[in-house]
Amino acid sequence: MLRGGPSGARNPPSLEQINAEVFTLTYGSIVRQLIADFEDIEEVNKQLEQMGYNMGIRLVDEFLAKAKISRCSSFRDTADVVAKQALPMFLNVSANVTNWSPDQTECSLVLTDNPLADFVELPEEYRELKYCNVLAGVVRGALEMVNMDVECRWVSDMLRGDDCYELRIKLKEHRDEKFPYKDDD
């Protein structure tokens, strides 16, 4: 999806790449258009998340097909795979996994670089806008397809003056893997 040099410890599989600016600018105009269409920032946040979700449920198959990963044994593993392999593969950035909750069901992905927001300055009137909410949706959609129901929200955002992007992921339910049915009565 994006061009760029080497990143991360393990090299992500090479995908066809596009100019990062085309991508950033396209995303920017989508967000702009959503604001124009919905006028309500809360609604825009929701739409972005939904768009991300729709991408995530398709994207996960590409990741599984091309990334040659092995099965994750815990939610901890999964978070690592998202941060160290999926993000580098599709966005050419990697994240750190931190702030685990004591019961290991909640963690944060911390990004210091985010190509989605490269040229963005958030005006005062859009302070409530979660500019990168599409990513939260992608993660939720992708994990849902591998049987994990998660909740994703941005807790820090550099566009709003924080010093990193922090995406909080909370595992709500890990569904059983039996496809598609067990015993029929």
Partner 1 sequence: MSIYSLYVINKSGGLIYNRPGMLNDRRRSGHSLHAIASQLSPVPGCTGIELLEADTFNLHCFQARAGSGGTLTGTKFLLVVDPHASFIPTLLQRIYELYSDYVLKNPFYETEQVIKCELFDENVELLIRRYTQQAT
Q: How many residues bind partner 1 (CB under 8 A)?
A: 22
| Interaction residues for partner 1, span 145-174 (CB under 8 A) | 145-147
**Nearest one of 138, 122, 133 to 59, comparing CA atoms:** 138
Closest to partner 1 by CB, 7 vs 54, is 54
| Interaction residues for partner 1, span 34-63 (CB under 8 A) | 57-62
Residue 119 found at the interface with partner 1 (CB under 8 A): no
Cβ(131)–Cβ(120) under 8 Å?
Answer: yes
Q: E-strand spans in 82-184? A: 96-98, 106-111, 148-156, 165-174
Q: How many CA atoms does the CB half-sphere of 108 hold within 13 Å?
A: 14
* Region of 65-73, 95-103, 113-121, 168-176 interacting with partner 1 (CB under 8 A): 65-73
C-beta of 151: minimal distance to partner 1 in Å? 20
Cβ(149)–Cβ(163) under 8 Å?
Answer: no
Positions touching partner 1 (CB under 8 A) are 57-62, 64-71, 145-147, 177, 179-182
